[in-house]
Amino acid sequence: MAKKAVVILAPGFEGIEAITVIEVLRRSGVEVVTAGIGSGTVKCSSGVPVVADARIEEITDTPDAVVLPGGVPGAENLGNTEAAKKLAEKVAAAGGICAAICASPALALGKWGLLEGKKAVCFPLYRHLFPDTVTQIEEQVVVDGKFITSLAPSTSLPFALTVARALTDDATVQPVEDRLKGNV
């Protein structure tokens, strides 16, 4: 049975980060549901409207992963949404993967206390917002147990591939990576 990931789209999310993860996960055979905060259509930080599969309040099951794109004001909106926090807490409690990129590691996962005692990275402008219990690592993608964090829009592809490998395996993801990089 395919693994399931929920990608949360908050108003002002970073489109590159969200769409890259959605594409890589789907190409790797992961069932992806996009969950919008607010209406069913959510505008990314550059104003492009994206139609979500569901509203965040409609997600009642516990997926194998929750993915939090960054962006401003997307990460702030995400971090201030109780339904997003509850879903991430539920996924973490079930041993699932919590993945966040750009500003979301600090403004969502860190704010919610989910990165206590973990290693993580986020966009440099938001590092000061990490709780003192987070060990900041200078890498593009940081994996600490079931938590995956990433630096910026430019790290969207390695972030997405890391999340895909965590949900599937290298044999599944390598052909996807090869194709995306033109190694065919």
Write out pLDDT tens, residues 46-75. 999 999 999 999 999 999 999 999 999 999
pLDDT reported for residue 112:
98
Percent of the chain with pLDDT over 70: 100
Q: Which residues are catalytic?
A: 102
C-alpha–C-alpha distance, residues 100 and 45, integer Å: 16
Q: Is the pLDDT of residue 130 over 90?
A: yes
Q: What is the third-level CATH fold of 4-174?
A: Rossmann fold (3.40.50)
Q: Is the pLDDT of residue 153 over 90?
A: yes
For the chain, what are the domain ranges? 4-174
pLDDT reported for residue 1:
78
pLDDT reported for residue 168:
98
Given a contact cutoff of 8 angstroms between Cβ atoms, the answer to whether 34 and 22 are in contact is yes
Q: Is the pLDDT of residue 104 over 90?
A: yes
- The structure's pTM equals 0.97
pLDDT reported for residue 39:
83
The single-letter DSSP state of residue 106 is I
Range list of β-strands (E), the chain: 4-9, 31-36, 41-43, 49-51, 54-55, 65-68, 97-101, 119-120, 135-136, 141-144, 147-150
Q: Is the pLDDT of residue 105 over 90?
A: yes
